[in-house]
Structures are given as structure tokens and as C-alpha cells.
Amino acid sequence: MGQPAIENLTRFAVEPVFAADEEGRPLLVPVVKATYAVGEGGLEIAEEQVPVSAGGEPWGPPGESSYKYEPEAVPPKVATDVVLLGHAQGNGATEVMVALQVGPLRKVVRVVGDRVWFKSMGSVARSAPRPFQAIPLLWERAFGGWDRTPEDPKQHRCEERNPVGVSFRSSARHFEEGLRLPNLEDPAEPLESFGQRVTPAGFGFVGYDWEPRPKLAGTYDEAWSKERMPLLPKDFDPRFYSGAAPGLTAPGHLRGDEQVALVNGSPRGRLSFRLPGVPPPRVRVALARGEDATPAMALDTVIVDADADQVLLLWRGRVPLRDGPHDATALHVESEASSAKA
């Protein structure tokens, strides 16, 4: 497959992604990814730009761990996802509240030091939380995981909202001495009794096969296999492409000039800055037939990486193609964010 020539007049990463729409028609998705450094005076365009991660980047073994970056070679999202990467800063405390606000979105997660379940006087109890300096804000530290205590593998169950987490048991009878409790909790729904099922709490990307995303993918039944395959089901919901944690998907697309505040999530202390107040990058696609296309580019992903002191912004657009990838001969990309200062 030939790639279109790219004339990138920005300092950002650019990737042309070829996909298909819901009806199987060819589609070009221009992806522009900007990396900003968090400085004392706000955001500045970073010297080193993080490339587009087409297949995503998990924190550990693929399929067994959560995503640091979800796959970015996807169609445009219908709303902006906001994701936080980093560590809760305990500084010797046994618990803190990590709070993130980006424009209209605000989320608070209670982060507690390490605890385990144990039996005392015939009852199941929780150990006291241990003081901590920093705890990673990963789904692996939230409620969830697998219950593999039954001998019959057919009876193994998982918490479908977070299969990589800890402390899930399908029955209170499935006790395990020393089983870890979650470090990350919803302040309104703490885990208080063994076998209790609570809502997993986190700031990272939700896996494609984690609930509720599979329900948005549509119905793959016999009727689909006879009438639609390999096209997407008629009831496919484009919200499937949104991978932010509950409460961190904006009502529509963010403009890109929103106020950001982070408490107890950065070793630098409280962070406060505004996203770059510049228009989206301008993309012009030269087509083999017809006039050039200028797709509207929407900011659909914001990643605050407090560990790396970076903010990543991803814009996507869509250009319908007549026959396929060879229709697009060139991409021209420019941005008003030409100076180092945001």
C-alpha cells in the first residue's frame, strides 16, 4: 500500500491512518499528536515529540495489563477522552485524595496504602493501610481481577469492568488469606466487606474488551453473519472508540484552552495550567480525483502525564475516499502553534 507524501510544517507527530466507516467505505483519518512540556509558566511545545502509537502501548504483557496509550490508529472519537498517567503522592500518609479537573470534567479517586484481607477470631478483616510515598495510578491497583479459586476452570470469573485489578471474588466463600485490597477506590463506594463488588476507580484508558465497551460494539449474531459480515453491526455505537475512565469523557469535544488542575498526582505538587489556546492543526489532503479535502480536526484525546511532566493532545479528522488509500496522494499539515510558548 503506498503512503501519501507528508508535508508537516508543525513540530508535532503526524500519521495518516486508513480505515473504513460503518458501511465499509474507505476512509483516511489524519492523526496529529502534539507533546507539550509542563513548565513553571505553563505549557511549552516539547523538544522531543511522542510519536503516534498505532497499536497502543500496554504497561505490561499485552492482554494481561492495562494500556498506557491505547491504539491511536482509530477513527475519530465523538467526544474528548481525558486520561491521567502518574502516581498518587502520599509522602508518608496512609491515604490521599487525587483530584483531576480538565475544563468541565472533574474526578476524585481515594488512594489508600497497601492492605490485605486476613482472618481474625473467625471473621474476615482488613489490615490497616500502610504509609506510602507514591502509588501508581493504574487499573492494576483498582478493584477487579479474576477469581480463580474454584478447581473447575469453567467456574473462574472476572470483574468485567476491570479484569486486571485486585480483590474481586465471585463469592464471599472464596476467601484467600493475604488477598490484596485495592489502592484506588471511589470515595463514595469503598470496599468494606469481603466478597463485596464495588465500582473500579481509575484515571487510565479502559480496555476494548472491558465493560461497558463491548456492549457498544453492536450485536454479532447469526443475522449479522448472514447479512452484514464483515461490516460493523447496524447497532454499532461510535462511542465504542472512547476509552477514558468513567467520568472523564467530555460532553462533546474540548476546545483546547481549558483549565487543568491536578492535586496529589505530581511530585511537583499541585499542578495548574491551561491547555494551549490555539486552533486545531490545519490539514489539507490532496486527492487523485477531485479537489483537495480539508477535514475538520477535533481534539478527541488529552493525556496528562504527570510523571513525565507532559501533556499529549491528539486531533483526528476524516476524509472519505472513493476507491482506497491510493486516492490520497499527499498531506499538508500546519499549525498556529509555531512558537515554543503555548
Per-residue pLDDT at 225 = 93
Helix residue spans in the chain (DSSP H): 213-216, 222-227
Q: What CA–CA distance (Å, rounded) separates 88 from 132?
A: 9
Residues 6+ apart with CB under 8 A from 58: 65, 66, 67, 68
- Report how far apart, in Å, the C-alpha atoms of 186 and of each of 101, 134, 182, 200 are: 16, 18, 10, 7
Residues 6+ apart with CB under 8 A from 220: 233
pLDDT of the chain, 342 residues: tens digit per residue? 568 999 999 999 999 999 988 888 999 999 999 999 998 888 999 999 999 999 999 999 998 999 999 999 999 999 999 999 999 999 999 999 999 999 999 999 999 999 999 998 778 999 999 999 999 999 999 999 999 999 899 999 999 999 999 999 988 888 888 999 999 999 999 999 999 999 999 999 999 999 999 999 999 999 999 989 999 999 999 999 999 999 999 989 999 999 999 999 999 999 999 999 989 999 999 999 889 999 999 999 999 999 999 999 999 999 999 999 999 999 999 998 854 344
Per-residue pLDDT at 338 = 57
Q: What CA–CA distance (Å, rounded) separates 233 from 5?
A: 34
CA angle 157, 163, 169 (to 5 degrees): 45
3-class secondary-structure state, position 187: coil
Query: How many residues are present in the chain?
Result: 342
* Closest to 30 (Cα-Cα) out of 79, 82, 61, 75: 75
In the block, cell 489490615 appears at 127
Given a contact cutoff of 8 angstroms between Cβ atoms, the answer to whether 193 and 127 are in contact is no
Q: What CA–CA distance (Å, rounded) separates 178 from 162?
A: 20
* φ and ψ at residue 140, rounded to 5 degrees: -65, -15
Does the pTM of the predicted model rise above 0.75?
yes
